[in-house]
A = this chain, B = another copy of it.
């Protein structure tokens, strides 16, 4: 590591990356390579002698980029977005440059303290209850992903419950969520040893727009109590992965609270929208939550990974996740004067991720961030309008944020055929490489998802995307009518 070598080579890399962004629309959005494509393009073993950076950059251009699915393309509308921005990128650079490992306060006080401050900033933008601020018993922490966020709070809740009901009652603990909840919760249950038969996946349907009905939760809890089980964890979602359904936090939270359960709110995607006053209503009731999560790396211009988790009682996390080996002991930690984030997360080591979130908030400012969110929602609304005008299609669930769930209507109302048709349409659209969208299934129906949220997406990209879809639909329907 020589400073001047770093300077020279990193300037080259900056230009490589800037050029990539300039030409990003030239690549197929969804990589069109076949499984195993790279095996024959790369040697079998590492080189003995050094190679030049230029060689490597050439390989990246010729061998790696064809195998990349371009999440930053303006024509990327799949899953949910993974935002990159100038500010987020600069923060990543700086974090990689300092390359500290901030497990304890002492290993870089600034890393811990900036994270506490910046998560307080974000909590205030979201108007989270004061209990979530670091100034009290709670606080925020950056996790890698929403999966890790739900896992750590599930573990905290598990251990808190076991303390109350006895260590040998693990098999009686019950978790509740809707069938629209992210699969990360199921995985967290597997990891934490929750019995699979004690994971209640409560059914939703179009009557509640796929949100969890408080009645069905209350009934399930009451059934479980009757047979001697112990309800201990509820996960609600604001902006589900399939269709951005919004669970009614206040009613659900009241039920959880009256049963002494931990109440976690997963707003991984939609949380970002709640910095706008007009969308803040969707997390009304968050006051009842024990923990709240949103992914700044999805739709908040902060490069992956940066998942913000807040808890009201940080001691529950610490009691579940702390270890205190001799080699990490130090005055500040022993005196309980500081936060050691190692005890709030699964891994020991952690990167200086608050830098990028801090830079996003400062380089853009609240007003621009609100404008950014509103623009995407406007684009999605526009797309929804386009779909509604084409009678061959239907919008399946009411659009709330920047996701539109829609499908091609099966000719002659032949529902059996509808799923195959839309599956085929999805493949045809994505095979063009012009745009990338994804799918889900709601009430047995195969649905296409159009998620606006890439930073580069403009009106023209949405219009062009719709043209691709219409063209592919026309071709598909024409083929069908011939067959």
Nearest B residue (CB) for A10: B14
Nearest B residue (CB) for A348: B147
A60-B320 Cα distance, complex, nearest whole Å? 34
Determine whether A251 belongs to the interface, using a CB cutoff of 8 Å to chain B: no
Query: Does B101 contact A304, Cβ atoms closer than 8 Å?
Result: yes
Determine whether A86 belongs to the interface, using a CB cutoff of 8 Å to chain B: yes
Query: Does B1 contact A72, Cβ atoms closer than 8 Å?
Result: yes
Supposing A72-B99, A89-B6 touch, asked if A50 and B110 sit within 8 A by C-beta, the answer is no
When the two chains form the complex, which single residue of B48, B85, B439 contacts A327, counting CB atoms closer than 8 Å?
A: B439
Query: Does B72 contact A303, Cβ atoms closer than 8 Å?
Result: no
CB distance from A291 to the nearest CB of B (A): 17
Supposing A3-B21, A13-B94 touch, asked if A101 and B71 sit within 8 A by C-beta, the answer is yes
Q: Which of A187-195, A206-214, A231-239 participates in binding chain B?
A: A187-195
Query: Does B47 contact A365, Cβ atoms closer than 8 Å?
Result: yes
When the two chains form the complex, which single residue of B21, B72, B190, B337 contacts A321, counting CB atoms closer than 8 Å?
A: B190
When the two chains form the complex, which single residue of B7, B86, B96, B347 contacts A93, counting CB atoms closer than 8 Å?
A: B96
Chain B proximity mask over A285-315: 1 for CB below 8 Å, otherwise 0: 0000000000001000001110000000000
Chain B proximity mask over A109-122: 1 for CB below 8 Å, otherwise 0: 11101100100111
A18 cross-chain contacts in B, Cβ below 8 A: 3-4, 6-7, 10
A7 cross-chain contacts in B, Cβ below 8 A: 14-15, 18
* Copies of the polypeptide in the assembly: 2
Query: Does A99 contact B113, Cβ atoms closer than 8 Å?
Result: no
Determine whether A225 belongs to the interface, using a CB cutoff of 8 Å to chain B: no
CB distance from A134 to the nearest CB of B (A): 10
Q: Which of A34-42, A276-284, A375-383, A466-474 participates in binding chain B?
A: A34-42
When the two chains form the complex, which single residue of B20, B36, B72, B114 contacts A113, counting CB atoms closer than 8 Å?
A: B36
CB distance from A426 to the nearest CB of B (A): 10
Number of residues of chain A lying within 8 A (CB) of chain B: 149
Determine whether A435 belongs to the interface, using a CB cutoff of 8 Å to chain B: no
When the two chains form the complex, which single residue of B36, B144, B324, B327 contacts A79, counting CB atoms closer than 8 Å?
A: B327
A120 cross-chain contacts in B, Cβ below 8 A: 44
Determine whether A107 belongs to the interface, using a CB cutoff of 8 Å to chain B: yes
A98 cross-chain contacts in B, Cβ below 8 A: 20, 68, 71-72
A60 cross-chain contacts in B, Cβ below 8 A: 94
Q: Which of A164-172, A216-224, A387-395, A410-418 participates in binding chain B?
A: A164-172
Query: Does B359 contact A56, Cβ atoms closer than 8 Å?
Result: yes
A105 cross-chain contacts in B, Cβ below 8 A: 35
Query: Does A82 contact B101, Cβ atoms closer than 8 Å?
Result: yes
Query: Does B1 contact A10, Cβ atoms closer than 8 Å?
Result: no
CB distance from A446 to the nearest CB of B (A): 9
A35 cross-chain contacts in B, Cβ below 8 A: 105, 109, 332, 337-338
CB distance from A285 to the nearest CB of B (A): 23
Query: Does A349 contact B305, Cβ atoms closer than 8 Å?
Result: yes
A297 cross-chain contacts in B, Cβ below 8 A: 349
- Max count, chain B CB within 10 A of own CB: residue among A20, A110, A305: A110
A358 cross-chain contacts in B, Cβ below 8 A: 56
Query: Does A96 contact B51, Cβ atoms closer than 8 Å?
Result: no
Nearest B residue (CB) for A22: B3
Determine whether A202 belongs to the interface, using a CB cutoff of 8 Å to chain B: no
CB distance from A191 to the nearest CB of B (A): 6
Query: Does A368 contact B125, Cβ atoms closer than 8 Å?
Result: no
A50 cross-chain contacts in B, Cβ below 8 A: 362-365, 368
Task: Report A's interface with B, CB cutoff 8 A.
Answer: 1-7, 9-11, 13-22, 30-31, 33, 35-39, 42, 44-51, 53, 55-56, 60, 63-72, 79, 82-86, 88-90, 92-94, 96-101, 105-111, 113-114, 117, 120-122, 124-125, 144-148, 151, 155, 159, 167-168, 170-171, 182-184, 186-187, 190-193, 195, 241-242, 297, 303-305, 320-321, 323-329, 331-332, 337-338, 346-349, 351, 355, 358-359, 361-368, 427, 438-441, 449, 455-456
Nearest first, the 6 closest Cβ-Cβ pairs linking A and B are: A67-B110, A193-B193, A92-B96, A7-B18, A17-B97, A84-B99
13 A-B pairs within 8 Å (CB atoms) are namely A6-B86, A7-B14, A9-B90, A10-B18, A10-B93, A13-B90, A33-B110, A47-B366, A50-B365, A56-B359, A184-B323, A187-B323, A346-B346
